[in-house]
Amino acid sequence: MLEIKNIYKAFGNNEVLKGVSLKVEKGDVVVILGPSGSGKTTLLRSIDFLEKADAGEIIFDDIHAEFARISKKTISQIRKKTAFVFQNYNLFHNKTALQNVTEGLIIARKLPKEKAIEIGKRALDKVGLSERYDYYPSQLSGGQQQRVGIARAIAVNPDIILFDEPTSALDPELIGEVLGVMKELAKEGTTMIVVTHEMHFAQDVANRVVFMDGGRVVEEGTPDEMFSRPKEERTRQFLRRILPDFDYVI
């Protein structure tokens, strides 16, 4: 469904992505792991063209394009198929929860207002915010804001949702409610790429885990393969650091 081939990206002369390839099939939940600075965010942002990649190809269903010379039209076509959930939510401050969700439907997709409101309410209900339609982001907790962020993403009915560390800005007691919503989406067959440090989510929900380091994919496999018998030493080092009781089969 979505394939990224050999993507390169540098900030000045800091090469951040050095030929990353990634393939996502419909219904996949791909979790990307990796140490800080390994380029996970940059990869995700490049897929949504929030960052302009220097080279590489993107294949999305029947769209086939090169990052270096992609047209505005293609960008907008691909963006219509994707949604992004940000680490710090990025809700529109001047809009209520419901308006945040309906904005993309009414303005970008030109849906009639009543229809958009109906879809928007359903999306907010789904993330457990039926009591908060008319609240402004500043009146919501971090966990609630991020759930609005997820509602905004699912409302546009994307083929794939990109999550960049959706829980890392949250207080520990609020992480669960957001992960719960994501788990639910995964169960329903939503295709997603998730950058996270939540290992339990990776183990329980992902069907593929990708480990990145230094701008490259070091290793990828099923959660079982990655957590029980990783092949690469760098993967083991990372997992040992992040999971104190990590114990792999040699």
Partner 1 sequence: MRSFHPSYILEVLIQLLPFLWVTVAMVIGTVFFGGAVGILLAAAKVRKGRITRLLANIYIYITRCIPSVIMLFIVYYGLPELLLGFGIDINHVGKGFFVITTFSILFAANMAEVFRSAYEAVDKGQKEAAASIGMTSWQTFYRILLPQCTVVALPNFANALVNLMKEGSLAYTIGLIDIMGKGQLLIGMNHGSYALETYLALTILYWVLTFVVEKSFGVLEKHLSKGKKALSQA
Ligand X SMILES: Nc1ncnc2c1ncn2[C@@H]1O[C@H](COP(=O)(O)OP(=O)(O)OP(=O)(O)O)[C@@H](O)[C@H]1O
Residues that bind ligand X (CB under 6 A): 11, 14, 16, 34, 36-42
Cβ-based nearer residue to partner 1, 111 or 205: 111
Residue 237, contacted partner among ligand X, partner 1, Mg ion, none, CB below 5-8 A by kind: none
Burial of 218-240, coded b for 16+ CB within 10 Å and e otherwise, reads bbbbebeebbeebeeebbbebbe
Residue 80 interacts with partner 1 (CB under 8 A)? yes
CB of 87 to ligand X, least distance (A): 8
Residue 136 interacts with partner 1 (CB under 8 A)? yes
Determine which residue in the list 38, 41, 46, 100 makes contact with Mg ion, applying CB under 5 A.
41
| Window 83 to 122, contacts with partner 1 (CB under 8 A) | 83-84, 86, 88, 90-95, 103-104, 107-109
Q: How many residues bind partner 1 (CB under 8 A)?
A: 29
Strand partners, 17: 9
Residue 73 interacts with partner 1 (CB under 8 A)? no
Burial of 126-145, coded b for 16+ CB within 10 Å and e otherwise, reads bbbbeebbebbbeebebbbb
Residue 74 interacts with partner 1 (CB under 8 A)? no
Binding stretches for partner 1 (CB under 8 A): 48-50, 76, 79-80, 82-84, 86, 88, 90-95, 103-104, 107-109, 136-139, 152-153, 156
